[in-house]
Amino acid sequence: MATAQDSDGELRSLLETGTGLKFKQLSLSSSKRFLFCDISTHKVRPYVPVSFRKKVFDLLHGLSHPVIKATTDVFKKRFVWSSMNKDIQMWCKCCVACQKSKIQRHTEAPLGSFILPKAIFSHIHIDVVGPLPRLMVIYLY
């Protein structure tokens, strides 16, 4: 990540312009490299370069798939980058596991009106759904 920070143009522009962030280079114990971290909140928050953002999101969000606000709160406590809110919102909305398990919008279908048939079984209503994706477990849809 330190190597990616060296070539990150966004970090360079943040360092040159005056922002509310206080960047400090902290040395890594495993090598002679330095990592830019924000210390303005009295907590060390490393700057995440563009090439690492999606990987970091996948690792943290994949633990429990929290909602957008909770995910953003977790990231703001631990990391810093400029378009964090927008990126996290987009990635949470695109998360397949979240789409499958969380209700985004509650829709109500209007009640239908049907003409009563003249005789028993002269008219049949059938609901057709499919094709449903097969999961890894047999007979599970």
User: Is residue 61 a contact partner of residue 95, using CB atoms and an 8 Å limit?
Assistant: yes
Does the residue 65 lie in any domain?
yes
Does the residue 91 lie in any domain?
yes
- pLDDT at residue 89 greater than cutoff 90: yes
Span 115-120, average pLDDT: 87
Does the residue 68 lie in any domain?
yes
Number of domains in the chain: 1
Give residue 113's pLDDT: 81
User: Is residue 43 a contact partner of residue 80, using CB atoms and an 8 Å limit?
Assistant: no
Q: Whole-angstrom Cα distance, residue 73 to residue 85?
A: 10
Does the residue 103 lie in any domain?
no
Q: Whole-angstrom Cα distance, residue 135 to residue 98?
A: 17
pLDDT, tens digit, 9 for 90 and up, residues 11-64: 888 878 877 788 888 887 777 888 888 888 889 999 999 999 999 999 999 999
| 3-state DSSP helix/strand/coil % of the chain, to nearest 5 | 40, 10, 50
Does the residue 118 lie in any domain?
no
* CATH number of the domain where residue 92 is located: 1.10.340.70
List, in order, residues 6 or more apart from 7 with CB less than 8 Å away.
49
